[in-house]
Amino acid sequence: MTAEYKVLGDVAVITLANPPVNGLGFSTRTGITDGLSKALEDAAVKAIVITGAGKAFSGGADIKEFGTPKALQDPNLLSVILALEASTKPIVAAIHSVCMGGGLELALGCHYRVAAPGTSVALPEVKLGLLPGAGGTQRLPRVLGVETALNMIVSGEPVKSELLASLPGQKLFDKLAASPESLFEEAVEFAQSVAAKDGELPLVRKLPCKHPQGDAYFQFARNMVGGMSKNYPAPLKCVDAVQAATQMKFDDGMAEERRLFTALMFTPESLALRHLFMAERAASRIPDVPEDTPQRAIKSVGVIGAGTMGGGITMNFLNAGIPVKILEMKQEALDRGIATIRKNYEAQVKKGKLKADKYDQRMALLSTTLAYDDLKDADLIIEAVFEELGVKEKVFNELDRVAKPGAILASNTSTLDVDKIAAFTKRPQDVVGMHFFSPANVMKLLEVVRGKETAKDVLATVMAVAKKIKKTAVVSGVCDGFIGNRMIEQYSRQAGFLLDEGATPQQVDKAVEKFGFAMGPFRMGDLAGNDIGWAIRKRRAVEYPDMKYSRTADKLCELGRYGQKTGAGWYDYQAGKRDAIPSELVNKMIEEHRKELGITPRKISDEEIVQRLVYALVNEGAHILEDGIASKSGDIDMVYLTGYGFPIWRGGPMHYANQVGLYNVAEAMKRFAKNPRDDASFWQPAPLIRKLVAEGKQFS
């Protein structure tokens, strides 16, 4: 059992002890009811305190148990809370650090609550596509008022205990402890004081629950919430559940909450969000790098190149309070780079997103140099110079010469071989790829590219650094394009074939955006610059002369239509604006090209467009797993969710394929292979997909 029981004088103490966050799994629930029975049987015990060991009171229901029989096995969370309410001896929740979800619901089932200042209090179920399912929607409005409670439930955001304790009329906390350190002692004293009192024990369920404007308020709330959460059913269901609290008797409201909770549990959106929660955390674990691998200290950073990427990379570290020295070849380049960083920060200050003094503090951490010797003390040096192997060679030769022993040398290359770059030094074990995405100060994704000689402590350190600078880091092996760009190449190739066969850029973009991508492939090309893909295709044409692809994108670039930066790409753009206007010229160019190829255009359904683009990602993703470039399918999903605008509520390409069913995905691939305009060899389902289909399994 993962809850401990002890008696201190006349107070029994039940301590949740299920690290890391005291999730309320079966063994913890059993521990609570077991402790409760002992306390009730022991005549010497006059009151009970429930608290949590370690870094949380409780992070809520055990997410890992969801969907397994254990989640419902008695005692379930509802029956535990009922048992607490029924206790004839007063129960005090001693709340600290984190009190979330089922943890807060458990506390609301206690007679009293004493909280430490600084506790993060939340009902975050909505972030998992759920609503609080153990009375949160019924009890929180009774102690905080309908509006405050509904805001917390619909946003899922944590609120600090001291703020909640200061709200007029709040009944959530009976006492705010002086400090986290004194919480336990104060809670025990509080328990003794209430034990000495006569009279009925207070229960949250008995408090009234009304909003003065009644249903009109809920209509207003629905309008607000509906607009903000169009792809997610949970937020509106949260409103329904809280409204039920104001309209129904407590037990009926509880039944309604349960009904809504159970229905949400099986929605694809909730499955996707729960997958995301787990995958995000699992991404930081590298199978052969133990969690206790020692890390190198990173107290200062060097960045080579103050261009598009160097500037954004630098900002990440300044934001995290880590000093950065940028090196460039010429003073003008440094001045330009620093001016861009300043401009970015000033825009944030203007928008009220950054305080002026914070801006000054960040800029004070920044220094510049033209001399490599000035980087001799840096703990981590990230190179972001031109994408040419010869240039990288010069840079890494210099770094090898000046960097102190043990410094980590990283390259932000997006296409070059990290092993070759590592070989430019005499310390390949210290070299790693850190592939940021543009704009590097905004995009969450960081592909950490593991060279064949990269040391384990280098990997462990870079993963920890990524967390510090608030990136989602995913480890990729060395291959052309790493995980993300290797897959996007297949997606883009399909987009090109679709144009040749009869679709327009607008139709493709619309279909994909309707599926949920932030941007379709052609709008994305115009934003990133169509010349980037052009350069890659030219290289590919030499490396793989037989590779089949549509020439339409090349023709576009031959017209100088690189995208937004040239004012024209797949779409037309008005000066200074980003709105994509369908281009007659481009559509004519596509038609001409079809004629050259002798293709009679056909009507292509949106369903086919989406399937070909998304399943292209899935098939290449499967090859990436087979090749050991990614260690788990969740990592691929994280890359697509955080770096490529894949719709969050669909959980990433590999999760989505699992949901569609790999058998169905493989059958569609076989159909696409029969299309003479497509690439039949690419559409052979990857051996991993065939194996999983044969075994009736999914990507794991």
Contact between 635 and ligand 3HC (CB under 6 A)? no
Q: Which is nearer to ligand 3HC, 45 or 100 (CB)?
A: 100
Figure out which of the listed residues 52, 60, 477, 621 binds ligand 3HC, where binding follows CB under 6 A.
60
Site for ligand 3HC in 273-312 (CB under 6 A): 281
Q: Which is nearer to ligand 3HC, 58 or 413 (CB)?
A: 58
Closest-CA residue to 134 (of 62, 30, 200): 62
Provide, rounded to whole angstroms, the least separation between the CB of residue 99 and ligand 3HC.
9
Contact between 101 and ligand 3HC (CB under 6 A)? yes
DSSP 8-state symbol, 686: P
CA distance 561 to 566: 6
101 binding partner (options ligand NAI, ligand 3HC, none; Cβ < 5 to 8 Å by kind): ligand 3HC
Closest-CA residue to 113 (of 87, 134, 94): 94
The answer to whether 458 and 448 have CB atoms below 8 angstroms apart is: no
| From 4, 41, 85, 105, the catalytic residue | 105
Residue 114 dihedral angles phi and psi, to the nearest 5°: -115, 130
Token pair listed for 46: 């006059």
Figure out which of the listed residues 129, 132, 235, 305 binds ligand NAI, where binding follows CB under 6 A.
305
Figure out which of the listed residues 306, 399, 508, 668 binds ligand NAI, where binding follows CB under 6 A.
306
Contact between 102 and ligand 3HC (CB under 6 A)? yes
Angle at the Cα of 48 from the Cα atoms of 47 and 53, rounded to 5 degrees: 155
Q: What secondary structure does DSSP assign to 178-247, as a single string?
A: S-TTTHHHHHHHHHHHHHT--SPPP-GGGS----TTTHHHHHHHHHHHHHH-TT-SHHHHHHHHHHHHHH
Q: Who contacts 360 (Cβ-Cβ below 8 Å, separation ≥6)?
A: none
Residue 633 bridge partners (DSSP): none
Q: Which is nearer to ligand 3HC, 77 or 455 (CB)?
A: 77
Q: Is 159 helix (H, G, I), strand (E, B) or coil?
A: strand
What torsion, rounded to 10 degrees, do the Cα atoms 129, 135, 136, 139 define? 160
318 binding partner (options ligand NAI, ligand 3HC, none; Cβ < 5 to 8 Å by kind): none
Provide, rounded to whole angstroms, the least separation between the CB of residue 235 and ligand 3HC.
15
Provide, rounded to whole angstroms, the least separation between the CB of residue 388 and ligand 3HC.
39
Contact between 264 and ligand 3HC (CB under 6 A)? no
Provide, rounded to whole angstroms, the least separation between the CB of residue 634 and ligand 3HC.
12
Convert residues 312-351 into a mask of x (bound to ligand NAI by CB under 6 A) and - (unbound). ---------------xxx---x------------------
Provide, rounded to whole angstroms, the least separation between the CB of residue 197 and ligand 3HC.
31
Figure out which of the listed residues 308, 369, 675, 698 binds ligand NAI, where binding follows CB under 6 A.
308
CA distance 431 to 407: 9
Provide, rounded to whole angstroms, the least separation between the CB of residue 416 and ligand NAI.
7
Closest-CA residue to 24 (of 136, 186, 189): 136
413 binding partner (options ligand NAI, ligand 3HC, none; Cβ < 5 to 8 Å by kind): ligand NAI
Contact between 61 and ligand 3HC (CB under 6 A)? yes
CA distance 606 to 26: 46
Contact between 412 and ligand NAI (CB under 6 A)? yes
158: left (phi over 0), alpha (psi -120 to 50) or beta: beta
| From 65, 85, 125, 157, the catalytic residue | 125
Q: Which is nearer to ligand 3HC, 270 or 368 (CB)?
A: 270
For the chain, the maximum distance between any two Cα atoms, rounded to a whole number of angstroms, is 93
CA distance 653 to 634: 9
Contact between 20 and ligand 3HC (CB under 6 A)? yes
Contact between 77 and ligand 3HC (CB under 6 A)? yes
Helix (H) or strand (E) holding 433: strand 431-436
60 binding partner (options ligand 3HC, ligand NAI, none; Cβ < 5 to 8 Å by kind): ligand 3HC
Note if 85 is an active site residue.
no
Site for ligand 3HC in 459-518 (CB under 6 A): none
399 binding partner (options ligand NAI, ligand 3HC, none; Cβ < 5 to 8 Å by kind): none
Convert residues 375-404 into a mask of x (bound to ligand NAI by CB under 6 A) and - (unbound). ---------xxxx---x--xx---------
Q: Is 93 helix (H, G, I), strand (E, B) or coil?
A: strand
678-695 burial: b if 16+ Cβ within 10 Å, else e:
bbeebbebbebbeebbee
CA distance 167 to 623: 55
Which residue's structure tokens are 């100088």?
A: 560
305 binding partner (options ligand NAI, ligand 3HC, none; Cβ < 5 to 8 Å by kind): ligand NAI
Contact between 100 and ligand 3HC (CB under 6 A)? yes
Note if 105 is an active site residue.
yes
Site for ligand NAI in 430-489 (CB under 6 A): 435-438
Measured CA to CA in angstroms, residue 20 lies from 17, 23, 167, 436, 519 at distances of 9, 8, 31, 30, 38
- Residues lying near ligand NAI in the complex (CB under 6 A): 304-310, 327-329, 333, 384-387, 391, 394-395, 412-414, 435-438
Instruction: Give the interface with ligand 3HC as residue ranges (CB under 6 A).
Output: 20-21, 23, 59-64, 77, 98, 100-102, 105, 124-125, 128, 132-134, 136, 281
> Which residues belong to the active site?
105, 125
